[in-house]
Structure formats: structure tokens, C-alpha cells
Structure 1
Amino acid sequence: MLKELQFFLSAILLLACVFFYQLSLKSSCLFSCLPPQKAQQDPEALLGHGHGIVFIETSERMEPTPLVSCAVESAAKTYPEKPVVFFMKGLNTTTRLPSNSTYPAFSLLSAIDNVFLFPLDMKRLFEDTPLRSWYTHINASVESNWLHVSSDASRLAIIWKYGGIYMDTDVISIRPIPEENFLAAQSSQYSSNGVFGFLPHHPFLWECMENFVEHYNSDIWGNQGPSLMTRMLRLWCKLRDFQEVSDFRCLNLSFLHPQRFYPISYPEWRRYYEVWDKDLSFNDSYALHLWNYMNNEGRTVVRGSNTLVENLCPSIDPGLYGCLVSSPLCLHFRQQDEGRRNVPLLYFMKTS
């Protein structure tokens, strides 16, 4: 009996040592300390079948905002069988954080089973595409709207290479998009580039990249983004007004009705940050684009405000919210919780 007790205590001591060793590692590293099964993955392996969901961050920001976290998590929950890949410019395989830094949103995102975070290496990404020559000659430091222009280019190249669905980081998923090759209409005659999807190597995206270079002008807002998609769509299709809530189909792509992603138009973007009007229906929508580039007022998701955006985001766990506020160690214990993998991510929102 005594030997059994000694064996048991030894096992407990060994497990405790392993735990504190892992905890010390997690406090000093970021990308290299992702779960082994994720660290060994690569974009080609994950996205090569053309069924992934893609987000992009072209700034150096490492900590996703509550709205970005909401967008990524909502996609992970809406598409549980698909990889949700977040490409971040500020991330690389040797990224390490100072020991006194914490990135709770980043850590919580990486803890979701089907969410993967990768560096955004534009030089490598644009190889073997029409964008290569443009990128090698551009001086990013003097370009207007560079964060947006580089994002416009990156999303074209990623979806052309791997296929899948691209979403801006202010797009909240509601239900799966049933289309493979599609553009999202903001209006009858104008396309968004905030949401689109194609199978790998679709010729429409190749022609978009060619047009991107041929008509490049970063001084004109949207010239490389929604305006590019619109002018290319007009070359491919003879557009007409939408009939009721029916999508428009042309050749082998679909132009999806504005209700699919834009039931609230950009002049009304503040409605997302107002108290939820329950009469407002999104039964015809696959996702909602929140027009965050219009948000110069700095409006954000406020916990407990009962705004539309708060109700759109995945449910909030009050217990974990309090835990994160009171103790940074709580995050580590949460990541070890095998019983709740798809964790909500809005626990660090403003409370006033």
C-alpha cells in the first residue's frame, strides 16, 4: 500500500513539473508554442482543397480586436469542418513576445480546433502570379492606402492559389455559404471584395490580378478592391437589376444578392452599434459585413449593451470573462480544458 502511495505521489509530482515547464514556455513564446498539430501545418496542406475560410491582417498588429475575434470565431463555428486560416503580417515563425506581454485574443483564437494562424509573406505569396512584378517594384512607404491595397492584392493571390472563401475581418458569419464561385453584391451594379469565394486557379481571379497591375492607382479609394471586382465582373457578365432576393448567375460564377451580406447599407452602418431591433431579420443572409472602415468614431463591441453587433457575436461566458480580468493564469487553464474547444472570444471587451 505504501509503495502504491509513493508511486501515486511521484506521478503527481512529475505531472506538476511538466505543467509548470509548459507554463514557463507559454509565457515566453507565441507562434512556436502553438499546439504541435497546428505548428506542423502549412497553408498549402490546409487550403489546397479549396474549402478553407481566409482572413488577412496586413498591419503589424498582433492582438486581434474584439470585432476581429468575433469574425474569426463566428466563421469557425459556422464552418466547423473547414480550416479557418488567419494570415497576419506581424507574425513569423520566430516571433517571440517579451516575458511581460500578453495577447489573450491571439491565444484564445489559436486554441480553437479549426483556426490556424500563419505569417503573411507577400513576397512568397505573389510568386507565380501577375502581382509579382508590381510588388517587387513598389515602394510601400510612399503608397496611399497601403494597408488596404496590400490586402486587396493578398486576398486575390491567396484565393487564386488555394481556393476557398475570403472574408474581411469585420464580416460576421451566420450560416454556410452554399456557393463555390461567387462575388458579393453591395448593390445591383456594384461588387464588394470584402467577401468572395472561388475554386483554385479560377480564371476570373487571374484576370483580376492582371487588371490590378495594369490599372494600379492607390490614390483612388477602392480602385484595387471593390472597383476592380466590379469592372472585371462587367467584362464577364451583362449585369442587370436583381429580382426580389434571387442571385444572378453568369457563366460559372454567381453574383449574390445584396441581402446575402449587405442587408444594412454603408450609410446605415451605425445600426450595428445600436440596441438590437428584433424586428430586423437576416433570414436571407449568409454573413454580415459591418463596414468597419466607416467607423471613424471608434465604436466597439460593448459587453452587456444589447447592441446588434453584440448579439451577432458568439455567446459570452461571464465566468471566463471574470476569470480573465482577475487572473492571467486563467488563460492557460482554459487552453487546457479539453471539454470546451470552441471557446467564445469576446471576454476582454470593454464593460462601459
Structure 2
Amino acid sequence: MWKPSKIFYIVCLMLFIAGISFFSRNVLKGYQHYIMKSFRLNGIGSDSVAFTTTAILRQGNGILFMETTDRMEPPPLVLCVIESAARIYPDRPVVYFMKGLGNITTEEEEENTRRHFPTLSSFPNVYFFPLRMDELFNNTPLMTWFKKTDPKKERYWTHVSSDACRFAMIWKYGGIYMDTDVISIRPIPEADFLAGEHSQSTSSAVFGLSPHHNLTWQFMESFVENYRGDKWGHQGPVVFTRLVTKLCGTSVLESKEDTTCANISYFKPGRFYPILYSSWKKYFEVWPNLPTFDNSYALHLWNYMNSEHKSMVPGSNTLVEHLYQDYCPTTYGHILENEKTQI
């Protein structure tokens, strides 16, 4: 009578383990889809749950972006920035508020919106919601300013309204705010932080605070009390710098190392601005040796300086092309595919 050998048992065991592994991977994929769907529905797997920003951002750890014009077709840089955040923060909601977007109250409506952004639709932690300033500013110091301000008479309305919105969004939801020209490259280790833009200015392009933080309220009060819509940057970096200087003195601004201000982290400029605004074109140049940016959490590409409308060109071997390849490969692939179809 044939008796199974030791080798036979080993082979059977290996096949069994392989089968379990294959089964587990496929089952986990199914569970992952279910879990992410439940996550997108306020933690409950039911379509009856209201699909709101408050529900999605209830934990106060969202990554927030916005578009204050009616533009509904974001340029590649914006898509790259949002994708990079979705990849760097896979367990946190990444929300893009868009002024031109219609109301979204159900998952179905949000899913329909997602289809318009194919490079982002595969990321379950990315959400799209309308930007409604009258609702956002309600119950904040910004509401009185908003009611008496005529956008048609404002020289920099797109920019000053953006400055106001970022304060109100962080006050209401908490989390991290980023401009849509800030590419995420590694997680920011602090929840509450400000950052230096250079040795004399505090950044308004990226900052993080918990919901209803007292500092955010002070920012909004300063915004209103010192409003000058005719001066570029007066409602953005100037507001931050004014309050930081008042609370902590100029030594914080001038520090070459990470420090603290008003009991929150204050990051040195290199964390987000390793390339200064005067050298913004370097992002669109070919480097003999690519920088590693080991000491940075994200990279601000200074898009407002880009009057020449420079963009990422596949095959150019520029620094920005390498950033797209590394941190937003889906967007990069989409651009590359479109370029091929147009040839």
C-alpha cells in the first residue's frame, strides 16, 4: 500500500498555503471595497446616510484644497497635487472644494462628479464638494466682511476670497490646508503647524490646525480688522506674519530650525519651500543631479509666479517631470497617453 512521503506532505502544505494566500487577497480586496464604501458613508454601510462635508471631515484630519473660480476643468498641476496628497495620506479624506460645482448630498451624486476626474476617481479617499462662501463664513468674523464686500469692485477677489475661505475651512473642519500648487512628498508629522515662507514671512499656502482652534479665530479677526483688498498678499501671508510676529516675535521667523509659536509647531522654510520664489523656474529645468528633498514634506511650485505658463512636458527630463512621475504617476500617465493620441 502506498504511503505518502514527507516530500508529498510538504508539497501539499505549500499548495494549501498558496491557495489560502490567493483566497485571502481576493477576499481582502472585496472587504477593502466594502470598508472604503462604508468610510465614504460616514462609517455606516447604508446609502441613507447624508453625504456631507461635516460627515466626511468629522475627524478633523482632512487635507483641504479649493477652487474659488467657476473653473470645472482643473489643469494638470492641480490634479497632480490632489493625487499626491491622496497617495501620501491614504487614510485621510482629501477634499477638493469647487465653487462651480452643484450641490452634492448623496454618494451617487458624488460618484457622478468623480467620473469627470478620471485621474482621481480611483482614489477612494478623494472627495468633491461645492464651495459655498455664504455657508462657509456663517458664524465666523468673516461674515460681516463678506456681506459688505462687492466682488465686482475687488481687484484681487479670487485671491482674497481664497484667503478668507482657507481660514473658515480650517476653523470649521480642521486638518491641513494646501494651495493647489503644493505637491505632497511625505507626511507632515504635526497636526497643528505653521510654516515659514522665508526669513521674514509666514506661509499661507500650507498650514494645519485642529477644528475651532483659537489661532484660526484670531486669523479671521485680523483678516477683517486689517482688510486691504487692493494690496496683493495682504490678506494671505501678511495676516499670518502679522499674528505670528505679535504672538511670538521675529525670532521665530528668522529661525533656521523648526521651532514653536503659540504652542504649535513652526516649520522652517525648507520644509515646503526648498526652492525660493526667485528661483521658481528651476522646477522646469533639467538638473544634472536630481535633489532628494529629504528635509521637505511638500513642494510649493510658485504657480502665481508662472506668467510664462510653463508646464510639465513628458520626455523633457525636467525636475517637474520627475516629480509627476514619482508623486502623481496616474496624472503623468494620463498626460502621456493624451500626448500620444494627439500625434
In 2, the alpha carbon distance for the partners of 1:173 and 1:276 equals 20
Cα separation, partners in 2 of 1:296 and 1:227, compared to 1, 3 Å: same
In 1, the alpha carbon distance for the partners of 2:285 and 2:329 equals 26
1:277 CA drift (Å): 4.2
Cα separation, partners in 2 of 1:242 and 1:143, compared to 1, 3 Å: closer
Partner letter of residue 286 of structure 1? Y
Cα separation, partners in 2 of 1:215 and 1:242, compared to 1, 3 Å: closer
Which of 241, 247, 263 is matched with 2:274 structurally? Answer: 263
Partner letter of residue 152 of structure 1? D
1:107 CA drift (Å): 3.5
In 2, the alpha carbon distance for the partners of 1:344 and 1:205 equals 35
SS of 1:156's equivalent?
A: helix
In 2, the alpha carbon distance for the partners of 1:258 and 1:228 equals 17
In 1, the alpha carbon distance for the partners of 2:140 and 2:163 equals 14
Listed as ranges, the matches of 1:75-224 within 5 Å are 75-93=85-103, 106-224=117-235
Partner letter of residue 234 of structure 1? T
Cα separation, partners in 2 of 1:148 and 1:275, compared to 1, 3 Å: same
Which of 301, 307, 311 is matched with 1:296 structurally? Answer: 307
1:345 aligned partner: 331
In 1, the alpha carbon distance for the partners of 2:288 and 2:162 equals 33
SS of 2:250's equivalent?
A: coil
On the 8 A contact 2:114/2:120 being kept in 1, the answer is no
Cα separation, partners in 2 of 1:120 and 1:280, compared to 1, 3 Å: same
2:30 aligned partner: none
On the 8 A contact 2:68/2:98 being kept in 1, the answer is yes
SS of 1:345's equivalent?
A: helix
Considering only CA atoms, is the larger Rg found in Structure 1 or Structure 2?
2
1:99 aligned partner: none
Cα separation, partners in 2 of 1:83 and 1:211, compared to 1, 3 Å: same
1:306 aligned partner: 317
1:145 CA drift (Å): 0.8
On the 8 A contact 2:157/2:229 being kept in 1, the answer is yes
CA-to-partner distance for each residue in 1:25-80, whole Å, 9 max, x for gaps?
xxxxxxxxxxx97x953111111211110001001110111000000000000000
In 1, the alpha carbon distance for the partners of 2:223 and 2:271 equals 26
In 1, the alpha carbon distance for the partners of 2:202 and 2:276 equals 13
SS of 2:70's equivalent?
A: coil
Greater Cα offset, 177-186 or 105-114: 105-114
CA-to-partner distance for each residue in 1:238-275, whole Å, 9 max, x for gaps?
2316555x202123212111110000000100000111
CA-to-partner distance for each residue in 1:116-148, whole Å, 9 max, x for gaps?
000000000000000011111111011011111
1:93 CA drift (Å): 2.2
SS of 1:185's equivalent?
A: strand
1:55 aligned partner: 65
SS of 1:87's equivalent?
A: strand
Stretches of structure 1 lacking an aligned partner (at least 5 in a row) = 1-35, 95-101, 317-341
Larger helix proportion, structure 1 or 2?
2
- The list of structure 1 runs, each at least 4 consecutive aligned residues, that deviate by more than 6 angstroms after superposition, is 102-105
In 1, the alpha carbon distance for the partners of 2:114 and 2:125 equals 19
> Are 1:247 and 2:258 matched, yes or no?
yes
Cα separation, partners in 2 of 1:238 and 1:74, compared to 1, 3 Å: same
TM-score if structure 2 supplies the norm length? 0.77
In 2, the alpha carbon distance for the partners of 1:120 and 1:276 equals 39
RMSD: 2.5
SS of 2:127's equivalent?
A: strand
On the 8 A contact 1:62/1:106 being kept in 2, the answer is no
1:14 aligned partner: none
On the 8 A contact 1:242/1:248 being kept in 2, the answer is no
In 1, the alpha carbon distance for the partners of 2:162 and 2:248 equals 25
On the 8 A contact 2:324/2:331 being kept in 1, the answer is no
Greater Cα offset, 184-193 or 149-158: 184-193
1:92 CA drift (Å): 1.1
TM-score if structure 1 supplies the norm length? 0.76
